[in-house]
Structure 1
Amino acid sequence: MTVAASIRDVADRAGVSVGTVSNVLNHVDRVKEDSVRRVHEAIAELGYVRNDAARQLRAGHSLMVGLVVLDVRNPFFTELARGAEREAARHGLSVVLANSDEDVAQEARHIDLFEQQRVRGILLSPYQEAGPRLRRMRDRGIPAVLVDRRGADDSFSSVSVDDETGGYLAARHLLDTGRRRILFAGGPLDMRQVEDRLGGARRAIAEVRGAVLDTLPSAASTVDAGRLAGDQVATLAASERPDAIFCANDLVALGVLQGLLTNGIRVPQDVALIGFDDIDFAAAAAVPLSSVRQPSNLMGETAMRLLLESADDPGRAPEHIVFQPELVARASTA
Structure 2
Amino acid sequence: MAVKIKDVAAHAGVSVGTVSNVLNGRDTVSPGVVERVRAAIDALGYVRNDAARQLRAGRSRAIALVVLDVGNPFFAAVARGAEARAAADGYVVLLGSSGADADQERLYVDQFREQRVAGVLLTPADAGGDVVEHLAAAGIPVVLVDEQTAGDDVCTVSVDDVEGGHLAVAHLLEQGRRRIAFVAGPLTTRQVADRLAGARRAVDDVEGASLEVIETDAMTVLAGRAAGKELRERADRPDAIFAANDLLAVGVLQALTMLGGIRVPDDIALVGYDDIDFAAATVVPLTSVRQPAEALGSTAVDLLLRQLDGGVDPAERQVRFQPELVVRASSG
What TM-score do the two structures reach when normalised by structure 2? 0.96
Which runs of at least 4 in structure 1 moved beyond 6 Å after TM superposition? none
Moved more, 310-319 or 248-257: 310-319
Whole-Å separation in 1 of the counterparts to 2:80 and 2:63: 13
Residues in 1 aligned to 2:52 and 2:42: alpha-carbon distance in whole angstroms: 21
Q: For residue 140 of structure 2, what is the aligned residue in structure 1?
A: 142
Amino acid at match of 2:130: P
- Give the superposition deviation at 1:104: 1.2
CA shift at 1:230, angstroms? 0.5
Matches within 5 A, 1:178-217: 178-217=176-215
Separation in structure 2 between the aligned mates of residue 33 and residue 130 of structure 1, nearest angstrom: 55
Q: 1:95 to 1:130 in 2, by over 3 A?
A: farther
Matched, 1:248 2:244: yes
Q: 1:311 aligns with which of 308, 313, 331?
A: 308
Q: CA deviation at 1:27?
A: 3.2
Aligned length: 330
- Report how far residue 269 of structure 1 moved: 0.4
8 Å contact kept, 2:303–2:312? no
Determine the C-alpha separation between the residues in 2 that align with 1:40 and 1:130: 51
**Is the aligned partner of 1:268 residue 2:234?**
no
Tell me how far apart the structure 2 counterparts of residues 274 and 105 of structure 1 sit (CA, whole Å).
33
Task: State which of 62, 65, 69 in structure 2 corresponds to 1:64.
Answer: 62
1:102 counterpart SS class? coil
CA contact (8 A) 1:186 1:226 kept: no
In the alignment, does 2:302 pair up with 1:290?
A: no
Cα 1:17–1:117 shift into 2, 3 Å: same
Partner secondary structure for residue 27 of structure 2: helix
Shift, 1:92, TM fit: 1.7
Aligned to 2:122: 124
How far does residue 53 in structure 1 lie from its aligned partner after superposition? 1.2
Paired residue for 1:320?
318
CA contact (8 A) 2:177 2:240 kept: yes
Superposed CA RMSD: 1.4
Deviation for aligned residue 1:69: 0.5
TM-score with structure 1 length normalisation?
Answer: 0.95
Structure 2, unpaired ranges of 5+ = none
Return the letter of the residue paired with 1:243: D
Structure 1 residues 188-226: Cα deviation after superposition (integer angstroms, max 9, x where no partner): 011110100110111111111111111000111110110
Distance between the aligned counterparts of 2:197 and 2:286, measured in 1? 22
**Unaligned stretches of 5+ in structure 1?**
none
Question: How far has the Cα of 1:136 moved from its partner?
Answer: 2.7
The question of whether the paired residues in 1 share the 8 Å contact of 2:153 and 2:317 is answered with no
Identity, in percent, stands at 56
- String of CA shifts for 1:279-320, please: whole Å, max 9, x gaps: 011100000000000110111011011111112225764611
